[in-house]
């Protein structure tokens, strides 16, 4: 359908390739599956058909501007039959055909960038929905584990209370904590279901069991920002192409404001005489020289240039903001990983042993369990923030597709 050559230069300090920096077959398969789902989106189908239309339009614009005209006449004059036949051709004196060809080629390029921009956006939305679903699932699993802990704790406390080892207040504290967890579980399950629906809306064949397809990451460890990446962004290229189209159309409007001659030849018979003639005609742009139309076209070209610079500026600042957000989220997510590495499991075991030994009371024990759960929840949020920031940064560089 078309050929599109693009700088796949999202280096990120380790030369990420087009789409994702994935090396294994399984990850490539994941991306292929994701692309196949996105290609089913009606907006993507519409964009592809518009690209097909622009290809046909571009082909038509390479053809001649004017077709020849056939003229014929016949009349009866007394006993004589008069007739003539001729052909005429308007000359493309100002070479409008070349201008049309340029407009068609740029139009195809603009539709390519429109499609790529849409694919980037759709893929980013799909990945964002998956990341949010994964985070919601982890929160739900965390709360489920916490519920099981408290349910087990209720049984232990009841046994100890009956044995006279604990006060009734201890049991009440556990029940209060458990009731709070029920509320949190309900909210997390609702959030999980909403997240599932969001993913299914974007990926028709997706199910919760499909999640193993998306266990990969982008694979980057260091990030850097380069303004050249912004120049290669499909949105920026689209705005530039729209500007160039307006420039070409302004030039075409100038050509159309100038007259093109028409020449022709004819032959026939008038009475007993043979006729051969040559015709020439030229429009006289006296009453309307179309100067205002030309001025309007060039004003539109200037406006398109301003729009291009606006899009480039906006995309640059968006990319910079996403880069800064990514660096911050990465920093604190890695700090959380370093801080909690190996401590979460050991802290749970230590708390259980100390409470069972009577070294800490039930109130402090429950408080410590809640703090541990909050720490795990914070890790889920930090991981989610980091992944979303990474998606936003790659999107702002125009490198998702």
Query: Cβ(218)–Cβ(393) under 8 Å?
Result: no
Q: Please report the DSSP string for 22-43 in residue order.
A: --SHHHHHHHHHHHHHHTTSHH
**Count of Cβ atoms closer than 10 Å to residue 266 Cβ:** 17
pLDDT of residue 7: 35
What does the pLDDT profile of the chain (401 residues) look like in tens digits?
333 333 333 333 323 333 333 334 445 666 788 888 999 999 999 999 999 999 999 999 999 999 999 999 989 877 788 899 999 999 999 999 999 999 999 999 999 999 999 999 999 999 999 999 999 999 999 888 888 877 777 777 777 777 666 667 777 777 787 788 888 889 999 999 999 999 999 988 888 877 555 554 566 667 777 788 899 999 999 999 999 999 999 999 999 999 999 999 999 988 888 889 999 999 999 999 999 999 999 999 999 999 999 999 999 999 999 999 999 999 999 999 998 887 766 666 777 677 666 677 777 877 887 888 888 899 999 999 999 999 999 999 888 86
CA–CA gap between residue 214 and residue 124 (Å, rounded): 13
Strand partners, 147: none
Strand partners, 74: 83
pLDDT of residue 344: 66
Tens-digit pLDDT profile for residues 130-172 = 999 999 999 999 888 888 877 777 777 777 777 666 667 777 7
Instruction: Name the phi and psi angles at 265, rounded to 5.
Output: -130, 145
> Residue 260's Cα: distance from chain center in Å?
46
25-66+95-258+311-396 topology per CATH: Outer membrane efflux proteins (OEP) (1.20.1600)
- Residue 84: Cβ-neighbour burial (10 angstroms; 0-12, 13-18, 19+): middle
pLDDT of residue 211: 56
- Return the closest-CA partner of residue 109 out of 243, 238, 300: 238
Contacts of 394 (CB under 8 A, 6+ apart): 10, 124, 218, 400
* The two three-digit tokens of residue 396, written as one number: 């702002």
CA–CA gap between residue 385 and residue 135 (Å, rounded): 10
Q: How far is CA 330 from CA 12, 222, 234, 273, in A?
A: 14, 10, 26, 95
CA–CA gap between residue 365 and residue 401 (Å, rounded): 50
Give the SS3 label for residue 327.
Answer: helix
pLDDT of residue 2: 36
pLDDT of residue 15: 32
- Return the closest-CA partner of residue 221 out of 386, 392, 31: 386
Domain ranges of the chain: 25-66+95-258+311-396
Gyration radius (Cα) of the chain, Å: 36
CA–CA gap between residue 166 and residue 324 (Å, rounded): 53
User: Which pTM value belongs to this model?
Assistant: 0.79
Contacts of 341 (CB under 8 A, 6+ apart): none
The alpha helices in 213-257, defined as continuous H runs, are 227-231, 234-256
Strand order in the sheet with 69-77: 69-77, 80-90, 262-270, 273-281
Query: Cβ(253)–Cβ(295) under 8 Å?
Result: no
DSSP state of 93: T
């Amino acid at each position: 359908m078309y050929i599109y050559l693009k700088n796949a230069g999202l280096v990120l300090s380790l030369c990420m390739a087009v789409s994702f920096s994935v090396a294994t077959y399984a990850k490539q398969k994941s991306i292929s599956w994701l692309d196949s789902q996105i290609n089913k989106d009606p907006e993507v189908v519409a964009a592809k058909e518009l690209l097909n239309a622009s290809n046909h339009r571009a082909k038509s614009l390479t053809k001649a501007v004017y077709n020849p005209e056939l003229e014929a006449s016949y009349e009866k004059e007394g006993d004589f039959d008069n007739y003539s036949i001729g052909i005429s051709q308007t000359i493309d004196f100002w070479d409008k055909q070349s201008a049309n060809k340029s407009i068609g080629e740029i139009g195809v390029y603009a539709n390519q960038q429109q499609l790529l921009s849409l694919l980037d956006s759709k893929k980013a939305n799909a990945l964002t929905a998956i990341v949010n679903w994964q985070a919601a699932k982890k929160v739900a699993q965390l709360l489920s584990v916490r519920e099981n802990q408290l349910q087990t704790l209720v049984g232990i406390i009841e046994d100890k209370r009956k044995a006279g080892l604990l006060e009734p207040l201890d049991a009440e504290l556990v029940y209060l904590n458990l009731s709070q967890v029920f509320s949190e579980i309900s909210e997390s399950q609702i959030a999980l279901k909403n997240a599932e629906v969001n993913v299914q809306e974007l990926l028709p064949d997706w199910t919760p069991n499909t999640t193993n397809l998306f266990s990969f990451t982008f694979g980057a460890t260091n990030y850097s920002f380069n303004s050249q990446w912004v120049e290669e962004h499909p949105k920026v290229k689209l705005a530039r192409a729209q500007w160039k189209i307006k420039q070409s159309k302004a030039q075409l409007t100038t050509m159309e404001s100038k007259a093109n001659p028409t020449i022709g030849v004819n032959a026939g018979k008038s009475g007993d005489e043979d006729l051969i003639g040559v015709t020439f005609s030229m429009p006289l742009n006296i009453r309307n020289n179309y100067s205002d139309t030309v001025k309007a076209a060039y004003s539109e070209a200037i406006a398109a240039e301003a729009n291009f610079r606006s899009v480039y500026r906006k995309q640059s600042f968006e990319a910079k903001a996403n880069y800064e957000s990514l660096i911050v989220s990465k920093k604190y997510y890695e700090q959380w990983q370093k801080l909690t590495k190996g401590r979460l499991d050991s802290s749970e075991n230590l708390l259980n042993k100390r409470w069972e030994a009577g070294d800490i009371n039930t109130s402090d024990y429950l408080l410590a369990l809640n703090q541990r759960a909050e720490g795990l929840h914070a890790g889920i949020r930090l991981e989610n923030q980091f992944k979303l920031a990474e998606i936003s940064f790659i999107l702002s560089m125009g490198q998702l597709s």
